[in-house]
């Protein structure tokens, strides 16, 4: 049975029809913050009509409860109720899950589906998503929002309360640049700049990321942190940013959590792979 895996993010929709999970003929469509429910459904309908899949796995960047989205913070133009009502009219069985929970299930699958696996996957992209695998199962919490560490309340440099993702997620980095320079630049552009201001903004963001990881470590004590997401890759691959992140993490981490390893995920298209696993659901240990 061919499964259509779809990953919707804050700036793109990616999809692929696959007989087994993996990278294959990925279609990418750019979207923006003005994208609404009808536009998203139109993209999904086009993919369904193109491939006529046996089932569909849909990965979303927001809160999914009982198999339906209840809030999509990074897609402010999408009305969740209208979106869900339209999805129900499509000629396909659709399984819906949170994007980072999909990433974590793909990571667990790639590690051999170990029953004793224990890690926290954190994915800084436009915002920051997270998911915990403990005892070989995704930990969902009472409302299926366990792991949403990006919404931790934290204070910024001015002492104002904000959310962790607004300090070190991509959109937060872009807002800081705009506040200081009065121009718009993408997070990707800011990371690539060599000027002192760009370096200062990204270095401070890397430090905030490390501090947040220390907080997660104190609460959940995972055996390992796995970092994914476009911004997460920048923090891990840039030597200066990784050093700032690790120094801040160890400065704030408690006791033995200081030694929790932090590594970069090697998965390609993990949300798509996880969406495939969710739609297939042949292994009931994968819980969404």
Structural domains in the chain, CATH included, are 3-102+268-280 (3.30.420.40), 113-264 (3.30.420.40)
What six digits make up the tokens of 128? 């920051």
Structure tokens at 159: 């002492």
Q: Which residue shows structure tokens 């996957």?
A: 121
Q: Are 67 and 88 in contact (CB under 8 A)?
A: no
Give the CA count within 13 Å in the CB-facing half-sphere of 270.
Answer: 27
Residue position matching structure tokens 């459904």: 41
Secondary structure of 213-240 as H, E, C letters:
HHHHHHHHCCCCEEECCHHHHHHHHCHH
The two three-digit tokens of residue 268, written as one number: 């390609």
pLDDT digits (tens, 9 = 90+) for 148-204: 999 999 988 889 999 999 999 999 999 999 999 999 999 999 999 999 999 999 999
HSE-CB for 63 with a 13 A CA cutoff: 16
Query: What does the alpha-carbon distance between residue 29 and residue 43 come to, in Å, rounded to a whole number?
Result: 8
CB atoms within 10 A of CB 111: 15
Structure tokens at 189: 């552009």
pLDDT of the residue at 248: 98
Phi and psi at residue 69, to the nearest 5°: -75, 135
Give residue 70's pLDDT.
94
Residues of the chain with pLDDT under 50: 283-288
> Could you tell me which residues come within 8 angstroms of residue 92 by beta carbon, excluding any fewer than 6 positions away?
4, 48, 53, 55, 56
Task: Tell me the two tokens of residue 245.
Answer: 């992140």
Give the pair of three-digit tokens for residue 210.
Answer: 């490390």
- The tokens 């699958």 sit on which residue? 109
pLDDT attached to residue 157: 83
pLDDT value, residue 22: 65
How far apart (Å, rounded) are the C-alpha atoms in residues 273 and 288? 14
* Model pLDDT, residue 60: 96
Residue 40 to residue 80: CA distance in whole angstroms: 11
pLDDT value for 283: 45
Look at the block and give the residue holding tokens 């070190």: 168
């Amino acid at each position: 049975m061919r499964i259509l895996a779809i990953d919707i993010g804050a700036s793109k929709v990616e999809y692929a029809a696959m007989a087994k999970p993996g990278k294959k003929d990925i279609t990418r469509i750019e979207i923006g913050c003005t994208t609404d429910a009808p536009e998203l459904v139109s993209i999904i309908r086009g993919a369904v009509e193109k491939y006529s899949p046996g089932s569909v796995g849909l990965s979303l960047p927001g809160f999914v409860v009982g198999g339906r989205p209840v809030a999509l913070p990074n897609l402010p133009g999408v009305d969740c109720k209208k979106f869900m009502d339209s999805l129900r009219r499509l000629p396909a069985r659709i399984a819906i899950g949170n994007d980072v929970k999909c990433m974590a299930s793909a990571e667990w699958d790639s590690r051999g589906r170990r029953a004793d696996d224990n890690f926290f996957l954190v994915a800084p992209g436009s915002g920051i998503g997270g998911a915990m695998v403990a005892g070989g199962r995704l930990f969902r919490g009472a409302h299926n929002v366990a792991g949403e560490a990006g919404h931790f309340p934290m204070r910024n440099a001015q002492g104002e309360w904000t959310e962790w993702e607004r300090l070190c997620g991509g959109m937060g980095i872009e807002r800081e640049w705009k506040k200081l320079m009065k121009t718009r630049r993408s997070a990707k552009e800011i990371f690539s700049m060599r000027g002192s201001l760009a370096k200062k903004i990204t270095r401070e963001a890397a430090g905030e990321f490390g501090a947040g990881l220390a907080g997660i470590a104190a609460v959940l004590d995972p055996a390992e942190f796995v970092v994914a997401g476009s911004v997460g890759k920048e923090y891990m691959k840039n030597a200066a940013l990784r050093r700032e992140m690790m120094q801040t993490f160890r400065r704030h981490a408690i006791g033995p959590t200081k030694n929790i390893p932090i590594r970069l995920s090697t998965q390609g298209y993990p949300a798509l792979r996880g969406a495939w696993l969710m739609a297939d659901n042949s292994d009931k240990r994968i819980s969404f």
